[in-house]
Amino acid sequence: MDKSRTRRALLDGALDLLRDRSLDNLGIREVTRAAGVAPAAFYRHFQRIDDLGLVLVEEAFVTLRELMNEARAGAADTDDIINNSVTVLVAHVRSHQDHYRFIAREQFSPITSVKLAIRREIKLFATELSTDLARLPVTSTWPAPDLVMLADLIVGLMVDTAKRLIDVLEEAPEREPEVVRETERRLRYLSFGATAWHPR
Amino acid sequence: MDKSRTRRALLDGALDLLRDRSLDNLGIREVTRAAGVAPAAFYRHFQRIDDLGLVLVEEAFVTLRELMNEARAGAADTDDIINNSVTVLVAHVRSHQDHYRFIAREQFSPITSVKLAIRREIKLFATELSTDLARLPVTSTWPAPDLVMLADLIVGLMVDTAKRLIDVLEEAPEREPEVVRETERRLRYLSFGATAWHPR
DNA sequence: CCATACTGTGAACAGTTGTTCACTCGTACT
DNA sequence: AGTACGAGTGAACAACTGTTCACAGTATGG
């Protein structure tokens, strides 16, 4: 009947299974079963499991852009930016756990199309972040490559934090504040580094 | 006949398959086939595929410690340390590609025992690195937590670099120097950061 | 030199997989 | 009102999976 309806059911079912399975090992029959649909129905929406994966990647990064916008909202001095960013990141990871776990895991996926898509999106994300950095007083005079470098370092830290958060959330939730503080420290370290850095 | 002989064959066969498969999706039959051995033989050496994975993790980190020792060998001023470290890392990743790819990929493995083992080893690795950092002039006065933080940042960078290197090596080997230069810059950024950092 | 322990074998098991097929509807458009 | 489209079905296919089993061969130790 409603095409988009079962499509969503397939995506959600897949995302649910991907909680403790890798995309590489995700069976078409499993997904359709989780979606409450006949196996053959899968092919009305995707050709292969890879396509399903690509859609999930796209979805995940849509939420990442949401994150960016939220974080940009309250911008004061550097320290506030850091604390605010981390708070927003934590809240976001918490409410989109499945998507974050998925991209963290499939970042090195043997399914090349998915791996490449994720890498491309992360690169894009870092570029956007670097244009934001260009507006800050400390880094406003830096040339583009240096901005990208710093943005890459920050994004790497974010990915790492997301990974830690997911683990902590499902294993020892009471240790969450600890992760938050750790991340803020590291981020502060990176931003202090900017004051000592001589760009070329 | 020779027990350790087939055991190695199984490990090597697995490592070979893991080039474009995730551990989660690695079949026992596949492994025995790659090792040229009957399926049932697998159970003489490992109970489940997880155990095989744990052995591979251990092997990978043995080579990582080799790396550490090699890198420690030629230590001069900070700039030399950076260049030397990166050179050694590159050489090492090149000659142990399969192991590095494996740990990079399974760092987020759905197979929890393997994931935990990797995380534990990385943590240990960072701790060792931090005691090395304590010997450097810039960081000698830092308290332990700050040293660990910096070590974590560096290790994170190394993992990231290993990942990039593997991709570059099998997709566009001519761009290797580019990755090397990029990594040196980032590492230098992190070390410059140390001069501006106020530990507490 | 014999007996014991143990690695590797090949057959068998029931279960699951991806993919195709002709099919039945319900929907939307003419 | 009727028709053409296409989403979802259920059965069928051969191929593969993990695991067990009794057995064969060989090395080791008494």
Which pLDDT band, with edges at 50, 70 and 90, does B68 fall under?
Answer: confident
State the pLDDT at residue A194: 95
State the pLDDT at residue B61: 94
State the pLDDT at residue B172: 95
Residue B40 clears pLDDT 80, i.e. is over it? yes
Residue with tokens 């004061």: A76
Strand D contact nucleotides, protein CB < 7 Å: 6-12, 16-22, 26-27
Query: Residue A113: which residues within 8 A CB-CB, separation 6 or more?
Result: A50, A53, A54
Statement to judge: residues B106 and B39 lie in one domain: no
Span A80-99, average pLDDT: 92
Strand C contact nucleotides, protein CB < 7 Å: 6-12, 16-22, 26-27
B159 at interface of A, judged by CB pairs closer than 8 A: no
Residue pair A87/A70 in contact by the 8 Å Cβ criterion? no
Nearest Cα to A16, choosing from A40, A33, A1, A2?
A33
Statement to judge: residues A56 and A151 lie in one domain: yes
Contacts of A150 in chain B (CB under 8 A): 189
- Residues touching nucleic chain D (CB < 7 Å): A 1-3, 5-6, 37-41, 44-45; B 1, 27-30, 39-40, 42-43, 48-49
A interface test, pick of B20, B149, B153 with most A CB neighbours within 10 Å: B153
Share of chain A above pLDDT 70, in %: 98
Please indicate whether residue A77 or residue B108 has the higher confidence score (pLDDT).
B108
Which pLDDT band, with edges at 50, 70 and 90, does A74 fall under?
Answer: low
Span B46-75, average pLDDT: 89
Round and report the angstrom distance from CA (B127) to C1' (D15): 49
How far apart CA B200 and CA B197 sit, in angstroms, is 10
Which pLDDT band, with edges at 50, 70 and 90, does B74 fall under?
Answer: low
Statement to judge: residues A124 and A34 lie in one domain: no
CATH of residue A57's domain is: 1.10.357.10
Closest partner CB to B110 (pick from A21, A157, A182): A21
Statement to judge: residues B79 and B62 lie in one domain: yes
Q: How far apart are the first and last CA of chain A?
A: 60
Report how far Cα A157 is from the mean position of its chain's Cα atoms.
Answer: 11
Report how far Cα B87 is from the mean position of its chain's Cα atoms.
Answer: 15
Q: Which of A172-186, B71-85, B103-117, B159-173 has the lowest mean pLDDT?
A: B71-85
Residue pair B79/B115 in contact by the 8 Å Cβ criterion? no
Tally of domains in chain B: 2
Statement to judge: residues A156 and A138 lie in one domain: yes
Look up the domain containing B4 and give its range. 1-46
Nearest Cα to B19, choosing from B65, B56, B44?
B56
The phi, psi pair for B47, rounded to 5°, reads -80, -45
Residue with tokens 């001023």: B77
Span B28-49, average pLDDT: 98
A189 at interface of B, judged by CB pairs closer than 8 A: yes
**SS3 call for B110:** coil
State the pLDDT at residue B78: 78
Residue B153 clears pLDDT 80, i.e. is over it? yes
Which pLDDT band, with edges at 50, 70 and 90, does B178 fall under?
Answer: very high
Residue A132 clears pLDDT 70, i.e. is over it? yes
Statement to judge: residues A40 and A61 lie in one domain: no
Residue pair B88/B71 in contact by the 8 Å Cβ criterion? yes
Query: Residue A157: which residues within 8 A CB-CB, separation 6 or more?
Result: A183, A186, A187, A190, B153, B156
Q: From residue A52, how far is each of A23, A30, A63 by CA, in Å?
A: 10, 13, 17
State the pLDDT at residue B186: 96
Span A12-34, average pLDDT: 98
The per-residue DSSP string of A70-120 comes to HHHHS--SHHHHHHHHHHHHHHHHHHTHHHHHHHHHHTT-SSHHHHHHHHH
Q: Average pLDDT, whole number, for chain A?
A: 93
End residue of a domain, out of B46, B66, B81: B46
Statement to judge: residues B9 and B35 lie in one domain: yes
Residue pair B89/B26 in contact by the 8 Å Cβ criterion? no
Query: Residue A179: which residues within 8 A CB-CB, separation 6 or more?
Result: A161, A164, A165, A168
Statement to judge: residues B37 and B54 lie in one domain: no
Statement to judge: residues A132 and A172 lie in one domain: yes
Instruction: Quote the DSSP letter at residue B40.
Output: G
Residue A87 clears pLDDT 80, i.e. is over it? yes
Statement to judge: residues A154 and A86 lie in one domain: yes
Residue B33 clears pLDDT 70, i.e. is over it? yes
Helices A49-73, A28-35: axis angle to 10 degrees equals: 60
How far apart CA B130 and CA B132 sit, in angstroms, is 5
Q: For B99-140, how does the pLDDT look when each residue is reduced to its tens digit (9 = 90+)?
A: 999 999 999 999 999 999 999 999 999 999 999 899 888 999
How far apart CA B98 and CA B102 sit, in angstroms, is 6
Statement to judge: residues A169 and A74 lie in one domain: yes
Residue A25 clears pLDDT 80, i.e. is over it? yes
Statement to judge: residues B84 and B105 lie in one domain: yes
A105 at interface of B, judged by CB pairs closer than 8 A: yes
Which pLDDT band, with edges at 50, 70 and 90, does B188 fall under?
Answer: very high
Which pLDDT band, with edges at 50, 70 and 90, does A75 fall under?
Answer: low
Share of chain A above pLDDT 90, in %: 81
Closest partner CB to A189 (pick from B109, B186, B197): B197
State the pLDDT at residue B3: 79
Query: According to DSSP H, which parts of chain A are helical?
Result: 3-17, 28-35, 49-73, 78-95, 97-106, 112-133, 144-171, 176-196
B165 at interface of A, judged by CB pairs closer than 8 A: no
CATH of residue B9's domain is: 1.10.10.60
Query: Residue B131: which residues within 8 A CB-CB, separation 6 or more?
Result: B147
Which pLDDT band, with edges at 50, 70 and 90, does B1 fall under?
Answer: low
**SS3 call for A47:** coil
